[in-house]
Amino acid sequence: MVEALKALGLATVITVVLGPPVIGFLRRLKAGQTVRDDGPRSHLVKTGTPTMGGILFLIGFTITSLVILPTSPVILSALLITWGYALIGLVDDGLKVILHRPLGLMARQKLGGQIFLGLVTGVVVMYWLGRGSIIQVPIIGWSLDIGWYYPFFAALLLVATTNAVNLTDGLDGLATGITIWVALAYGLFTYALGQNDLLIFTMSLVGGCVGFLVYNIYPAKVFMGDTGSLGLGAAIGFLAIMTRTELVLPVLGGVYVIEALSVILQVFFFRLTGKRLLRMSPLHHHFELLGWSEKKVVAFFWIMGLILAVGGLCILAI
């Protein structure tokens, strides 16, 4: 536990210290966010705020993890997978805000890279890390060995999680705060399981997010961009895979799921009826257009995130 607290503190400090120079560098790159014209009018003031800031917490928790457990195969795998997805986001962000290609990576390029990394992850955890291919069914306690289908299951989980976190990242501090709750839940669970390597990685992730929140809380001085959201999603997905809690993650990270479902339902309903189900998706924008302030929406979602993370822990305790 002492090492876990050390990881939390060190990652927080590194991320906070790196904030000003990294944000300054992004400003010099002119890596400013372009705000959607059809979004809430209050967001127009965010235009030009540096994005790709996820690099901040990625560096923070990477340095911390390697300082504390430099030779751990679990840590090295977690970092490589997290950075793999983050690099997809970094390329996408770079094309959009630096090279001024509005669409960034083509959808098939982005999705193809995510699926490939997911398949690689499945193989790595099955054989190199010895995770095997068993899926635990919560509450009823069933175990299901899906064999060589597991890499495909892992890819589905990682693609879904990374994109759900990406959709959640729409308001100042929203995705960062939700991820802190989810990661803290995994910290408690890995501590209970005695999985020290995962505990260090998890608490380093929490520290990185806490440090980033200093600059990402309303009014944000920097946005995480796809660089950060895809990296965070990959880190959380990896934790679910290694703790065999893939089927509990939709509860632990329930806000991610709700945000993603709001987009899916909005598209489906519009194609079916020609009308909008929500004023705007993802769901956080719907609340803004109902007249809620951004800070109120974020606080409400943070509370939901905490309740769902606790609910997920209760399921794991059964």
Dihedral sign for Cα 142, 145, 149, 150, please: positive
Dihedral sign for Cα 64, 68, 69, 74, please: negative
Instruction: Please tell me the predicted confidence (pLDDT) of residue 104.
Output: 72
Instruction: Please tell me the predicted confidence (pLDDT) of residue 95.
Output: 86
Tokens 């109902």 sit at which residue?
Answer: 290
Instruction: Please tell me the predicted confidence (pLDDT) of residue 40.
Output: 63
Instruction: Please tell me the predicted confidence (pLDDT) of residue 151.
Output: 97
CB 234 within 8 A of CB 155: no
Give me the tens of pLDDT residue by residue for the chain, a chain 318 residues long: 888 999 999 999 999 999 999 999 998 887 666 655 556 656 656 677 888 999 999 999 999 999 999 989 999 999 999 999 999 999 998 888 777 666 678 888 999 999 999 999 999 999 999 999 999 999 888 899 999 999 999 999 999 999 999 999 989 999 999 999 999 999 999 999 999 999 999 999 999 999 999 999 999 999 999 999 999 999 999 999 999 999 999 999 999 999 999 999 999 999 999 889 999 989 999 999 999 999 999 999 999 999 999 999 999 988
CA–CA dist 233, 129 (Å, integer): 20
CA–CA dist 20, 212 (Å, integer): 11
Instruction: Please tell me the predicted confidence (pLDDT) of residue 49.
Output: 86
Instruction: Please tell me the predicted confidence (pLDDT) of residue 178.
Output: 98
Instruction: Please tell me the predicted confidence (pLDDT) of residue 201.
Output: 97
CB 164 within 8 A of CB 263: no
Read off φ and ψ for residue 85, nearest 5 degrees: -70, -35
Instruction: Please tell me the predicted confidence (pLDDT) of residue 38.
Output: 55
Per-residue 3-state assignment (H helix, E strand, C coil) for the chain: CHHHHHHHHHHHHHHHHHHHHHHHHHHHCCCECCCCCCCCHHHHHHCCCECCCHHHHHHHHHHHHHHHCCCCHHHHHHHHHHHHHHHHHHHHHHHHHCCCCCCCCCHHHHHHHHHHHHHHHHHHHHHHCCCCCEEEECCCCEEEECHHHHHHHHHHHHHHHHHHHHHHCCCCCHHHHHHHHHHHHHHHHHHHHCCHHHHHHHHHHHHHHHHHHHHHCCCCCCCCHHHHHHHHHHHHHHHHHHCCCCCCHHHHCHHHHHHHHHHHHHHHHHHHHCCCCCCCCCHHHHHHHCCCCHHHHHHHHHHHHHHHHHHHHHHHHC
Instruction: Please tell me the predicted confidence (pLDDT) of residue 154.
Output: 98
Greatest Cα pair distance in the chain: 57
